[in-house]
Structure 1
Amino acid sequence: MSFKTLRTKSFGYAFLITLSCSLLGSFLGSLPYLSVIGALVLALILGMVFQVWPAAVQASKAGNGLIANKFLRLGIILLGFKLNLIELAQAGVKTIVVALIIVTGTISLTYWLARKFGVSRQLAILAASGTGICGAAAVMGISPQIPAADGDEAQKHDDEVLAVAIVAILGTVFTLIELGLRPLLQMTPTQFGVMAGGSLHEIAHAVATGGANGPVSLNTAIIMKLSRVLLLAPAALIIGIWYQRQSSRTNASSRKLPIPWFMLGFILASVAGTFLPLSSAVLAGLVKLAYLVLGMAMAALGISVNFKVFWRSGRKAVLACLTGSVCLLAFTILVSKLFF
C-alpha cells in the first residue's frame, strides 16, 4: 500500500472520529448543565477519551494533524461571520478601548508570570494569547506566527495542545465562578454582560454566562467578547513580529515577516456578514458550520494530547494563566462597575 493511500485512509479515519466528537460535543453542549462547559471544550474532552483506543489513534494520526491545523484555520475564518462590525461600532469607542486594554494587559501579565514561573517562551505566549483574546481559537491563530523553538515541531505541537487545554479548562472553571458570584455582585444586566464578555475565554463561555442573566446581559456579553475577537488578527501580526525579533537575537535565520493570511479571511468574512445581503438563517448556518469545524479541530487536538508533557510542563503554565485570569476578572468587575 502506497504512502498516499495510507495518508488518505488516515484522513478518512480522523475525519469520521473528529466529526463524531464534534457532533456529540455540540449535542451535549446544548443540554442544560453541560451548556456551561461549551461544545468546543466537550469536543476536546471527547478527543482525549479516544486515547483509550490506541489502534484508532494510530490509524488516524496523520489525518489528525491535518484537521487540527487546517480545519481550525477554516473555523476561525467562518467565525468571522459572527462578527457584525456595525454592532461593534454602535457599542462605542468605550467597548473597543476596554477590549484593547484587556487583550494587551492580560497577554502581557500572563506571559510575564509564565516566564517568571519558568514556563518556556513558546508555551508562555500561546497560553497568554488564549487567556487574553479568545481561548483555543486565539492559541491556534497565534501559533502559525511562532517559529518552533530549535526547529522542534513536535514540542511546538505539544505546547499548542497544552495551551488549548489550559484555556479551555480555566474558561469553564471561571464560567462556574462568575455564575456563582452573580447574586453577590449586585450588577446591572449591562455590567454583568461586560464582565462576562470581558473576562471569559471562549465565546461559548461568555454566551452561557451572559445568557444566564437575561437577554440584555447576553447581548452585551457577546458584543464585549467579539470586541476582543476582533483584535485577534492585529494581535497575531504584532506578536508574530515581536516573537521573531526576539528569536533573531539567538537565531540569525529568523527574519521572515510573519503574515497571518488566514486572518484576512476572518476579516473578509466579518465584512461579508455585515454588509452583504445574507439572511439571518444563512449567517446562523455559517456560524454553526464554524463551530462544527472548530469542534473537529478541538477533537483532533484532544486525541493527540501528550499527558506526560501535560503533567510535566503544564502545572506552572496553569498557575500563570490562573493568576492572569483572576486579575482579569477583578479588572472587568471594576471597569463594568465604574464605566457601564
Structure 2
Amino acid sequence: MLHEIAVQMKSKSFWLAALMTLACSIAGTLLAGLPYLNLVGALVISLILGIVFQTAPKAVNEAKSGIGFISNKFLRLGIILLGFKLNLLALLASGVKTIVLAICIVTLTVLLTYNLAKRFGVEKQLAILTACGTGICGAAAVMGISPQLEVQPDEEERKRENEVLAVAVVCIMGTVFTLLEIGLRPILHMTDVQFGVMTGGSLHEIAHAVAAGGANGPVSLDTAIITKLSRVLLLAPVAAIVGIWYSKSTSKATVETGVPVTKKKLPMPWFMLGFLLSSLIGTFLPIPANVIAWLVKLAYIFLGMAMAALGMNVNFQVIFKRGKSVFLASFISSVVLLGFVIVAAKLFF
C-alpha cells in the first residue's frame, strides 16, 4: 500500500483528485453543522457535492485515476481512524443488555432487509450493502462492507452504482425516521433513557441518532450515542462474516454455471482490524480527549473525500431505474426495526 501511495503522489491526477475531494469533504463537514442539514450528515453531503463535480467532466476525467485511489484507500484509512470514536469502556459500562440489544438489532435488520430485497428482485450485492447500511451505521457501513465484495474489473462501475444507491437509501430512510421519531416522542411516553435507546437502536446514521436523541435532552443524547456505537462495534465482525459468505457463495454460483474458476483466498478485512486496534488504543492509552476528537474529525475528512470521489464517478440514470425495490425493502425493515426497538426499550430499559 505504501508503494501505491508513493506512486500516486507523483501523479498530477492524484493531487487534482485530492484537492477536489478535500474541498467537498470540508464543505460537507461545515454544511452538516447547519440546522436541518445535520439530519443528512457530512458524509452524504460530501457525496452530493462530489456529484456536483460531474458538471465539470474535464476536471473529473483528468483526475480519474486519483479519484479511484481515494475512493478505495482513503475509505479504509477513514474507517481505521473512526475506531478512535469507539470507547470500549463506555460501551461496557452501558451494560450487557445494550450489547445484546445491538447484536439482536444488527442480526435482525441485516437478515430481514437482505431477504426482503432479494424477494423484491434486488441483486445480491446491492441487497447486502443496503442491509448492512440499514442495520449498522448508514453510509460508513456501506463503504466499510463494500471492499469485502470482490468483483471483476468490468463490474467495478456496477459496484459503484450499488454503493451510491445503498448510501442514498439509508440516508433518506434515516432522515425520514429521525423526523418520525421526534414526532412520536410525546406519544410514546418513554423515559429519557428509553427514548435514547430507541433512537440509537433504530436510526441509521450516527448523525440521525444524535439529532433525534438530542431533541429529548442530554440523557437521551448520551444514551442514543452509546446504543448507536454498540451497533458500530459490530461493523468489523459483520464485515468479516459477509466477506467469507460472499466469497463462498459467489464461487459456488460460478461453479454451478459450469465456468472454470480459480480458488480464491477468503477476503481478510485488515482495515477492520485497524478499526478495532484504534478503538483499543483510544480506550486504554492515556491520549488526551482533544487529540481523540481531532483524530475522529480527520476520520470524517478522509471518509468524506472517499464519498466525494464516489459521487464523481457514478452513472445516476442507471441508479434511478432500479431504486424502487431496494427502497421498499429498507422501508419495511426500518418499520419492523423501530417497532422491535420500542418494545425492547420499554421492557428492558
TM norm structure 1: 0.94
AA aligned to 1:85 is L
TM-superposed deviation, 1:305 = 2.7
CA distance in 2, matches of 1:169, 1:287: 24
The answer as to whether partners of 2:161 and 2:316 remain within 8 angstroms in 1 is no
| Residue identity opposite 1:119 in structure 2 | V
Q: Percent identity?
A: 64
The letter of the residue matching 1:313 is R
Match of 1:188 in 2: 191
Aligned positions of 1:1-340 closer than 5 A: 8-148=11-151, 152-251=155-254, 252-253=261-262, 255-340=264-349
Aligned pair in 2 of structure 1 residues 17, 150: CA closer, same or farther (>3 Å)? closer
Shift of 1:255: 3.8
Contact 2:9 2:15 (C-alpha < 8 Å) held by counterparts: no
CA deviations over 1:200-221 (Å, ceiling 9, x no partner): 1111111121112111111111
Q: Deviations over 1:35-76 (max 9, x none)?
A: 222211211121222222222222222222111111111111
How much does 1:271 deviate?
Answer: 0.3
Contact 2:197/2:223, CA 8 A, preserved across alignment = yes
* Conserved? CA contact 1:25–1:43, under 8 Å: yes
Secondary structure of 2:24's counterpart equals helix
Deviates more, 1:273-282 or 1:131-140: 131-140
Q: CA deviation at 1:242?
A: 1.4
The 2-side partners of 1:254 and 1:33 are apart by 50
Alignment length (residue pairs): 337
Alpha carbons of 1:227 and 1:56: their partners in 2 closer, same or farther (altered >3 Å)? same
CA distance, structure 2, for counterparts of residue 166 and residue 67 of structure 1: 23
Per mean C-alpha deviation after superposition, the further-off stretch among 116-125 and 310-319 is: 310-319
Distance change in 2, residues 1:254/1:155 (3 Å): farther
Q: What is the identity, as a one-letter code, of the residue corresponding to 1:293?
A: F
Which shows bigger deviation, 9-18 or 102-111? 9-18
Q: Secondary structure at the match of 2:137?
A: coil
TM superposition shift of 1:128: 0.7
Residue identity opposite 1:308 in structure 2: Q
- Report the AA paired with residue 333 of structure 2: G
Q: Which moved more, 1:199-208 or 1:244-253?
A: 244-253
Query: Any unmatched runs of 5+ in structure 1?
Result: none
Assess if the C-alpha contact under 8 Å between 1:41 and 1:169 holds in 2: no
How far is 1:332 from its partner?
A: 1.1
Stretch deviating more after TM superposition (129-138 or 260-269) = 129-138
Distance 1:34 1:150 in 2: 36
1:336 alignment partner AA: A
Q: Which has the higher mean CA deviation after the structures are superposed, 88-97 or 324-333? A: 324-333
* 2: CA distance, partners of 1:18 / 1:327: 37
Q: Measure how far apart 1:150 and its partner are.
A: 9.1
2:55 and 2:43 mapped to 1: Cα distance? 20
How far has the Cα of 1:162 moved from its partner? Answer: 1.8
- Does structure 1 conserve the Cα–Cα contact (< 8 Å) formed by 2:196 and 2:219? yes
The runs of at least 4 aligned residues of structure 1 exceeding 6 Å deviation read 4-7
Stretches of structure 2 that go unaligned for 5 or more consecutive residues are 1-6, 255-260
Rate the CA distance shift 1:98–1:304 in 2: closer, same or farther, 3 A: same
Deviations, residues 256-284 of structure 1 (Å, cap 9, x unaligned): 22210001100000000000010111111
Greater CA deviation, 66-75 or 93-102?
Answer: 66-75
CA distance in 2, matches of 1:7, 1:22: 23
Cα contact 2:25–2:42 (8 A) shared by 1: yes
Superposition deviation, residue 5 in structure 1: 8.9
Q: Kindly provide the amino acid, as one letter, of the partner of residue 340 in structure 2.
A: F
Q: Secondary structure at the match of 1:152?
A: helix
- Quote the Cα distance in structure 2 between the aligned partners of 1:86 and 1:133: 20
TM-score normalised over the length of structure 2: 0.92
The one-letter code sitting in structure 2 at the alignment partner of 1:140 is M
CA 1:309–1:268: 2 relative to 1, 3 Å: same
Contact 1:244 1:254 in 2 (8 A): no
Instruction: Check whether the contact 1:168–1:201 (CA below 8 A) recurs between aligned residues.
Output: yes
Structure 1 residues 72-81 or 165-174, which shifts more? 165-174
Give the CA deviation at 1:195: 1.0
